[in-house]
Amino acid sequence: MSSLNCSRLTMISLVLFVLIIGSANAQLSTSFYSSSCPKLSSTVQSTVQSAISNEARMGASILRLFFHDCFVNGCDGSILLDDTSNFTGEKNANPNRNSARGFDVIDNIKTAVENVCPGVVSCADILAIAAADSVAILGGPTWNVKLGRRDAKTASQSAANTAIPAPTSNLNTLTSMFSAVGLSSKDLVTLSGAHTIGQARCTTFRARIYNETNIDTSFASTRQSNCPNTSGSGDNNLAPLDLQTPTSFDNNYFKNLVQNKGLLHSDQQLFNGGSTNSIVSGYSTNPSSFSSDFATAMIKMGDISPLTGSNGEIRKNCRKPN
């Protein structure tokens, strides 16, 4: 074979390699639906705004759904699936049972989106957009959401039970679980700042407010008034993750940690003499730094193992495979 033919073959192989790598890494795009569904952004935003106007807590609930989706086999909309005869889904896994909420809002968004561009937009992308809208509506940062995810056809309760960090986790466990999905210890602290909004159930913080010593005593007393020490009593009673402004996306979460007023054990672990103390301290005094880093970290989390191209599907109903 001539050297010219060899060089041509080499060039063709190189081009194919670049195309394959490109298709694997460059599927998500902020303009993915710009021509196929130009009204997508406004359609999602108006439905999210309506839901939050009806109940301010819903913004935190939708944001949490996106976290819990991405941590289990990637951002593929699997958390939205109901159980079927073929699989047991994620909704009744330990981190989600009696606490994951907002599924009806996602259904409403899907219905609205299907009305303007049927069969085009995935439930996984709808969840990603809704999470970003929730943060913005509650006063947090904005970012351009990368899109082009497709929906999983299955879900795994066992994966959800093992992949989502528990509120009882210590810093080493949190760091390793975030690392397992490609997120750094800085991302861990930044994304934990989502706990500046929302509520937690008594059962998730009972052990902390009665048994731990790295907690402000008056804060512990306040929380004990609505969370009895006896297991099974008041388990579902709610407390704000951020005592000051539970429906405003700000940096008070980090101010609370510096004062030993983190509600969850996993929260206070971020400021407990360990490697992440300095990041928490920085965010507690620099809200703009937290805002910009949070937007960056959310984009990074949204890149976790998406289904793209011919993988997965575009579900007609977010609760069940086609």
- The residue ranges of every structural domain in the chain are 39-164, 171-302
**Amino acid (1-letter code) at residue 223:** R
- Tell me whether residue 76 is annotated as binding: yes
CATH number of this structure's domain 171-302: 1.10.420.10
The dihedrals phi and psi of 117, each to the nearest 5 degrees, come to -155, 80
| Whole-number Å distance between alpha carbons of 126 and 117 | 13
**Residues tagged active-site:** 68
What three-state secondary structure class fits 142? coil
Q: What is the pLDDT of residues 198-248, one digit of tens each?
A: 999 999 999 999 999 999 999 999 999 999 999 999 999 999 999 999 999
Residue 50 CB partners (closer than 8 Å, separation 6+): none
What three-state secondary structure class fits 227? coil
Residues lower than pLDDT 50 in the chain:
15, 17-26
- Tell me whether residue 212 is annotated as binding: no
Prediction pTM value: 0.91
Identify the pLDDT of residue 20: 45
CATH number of this structure's domain 39-164: 1.10.520.10
- Tell me whether residue 285 is annotated as binding: no
Identify the pLDDT of residue 18: 43
The residue behind tokens 């439905």 is: 47
Identify the pLDDT of residue 7: 52
Identify the pLDDT of residue 27: 85
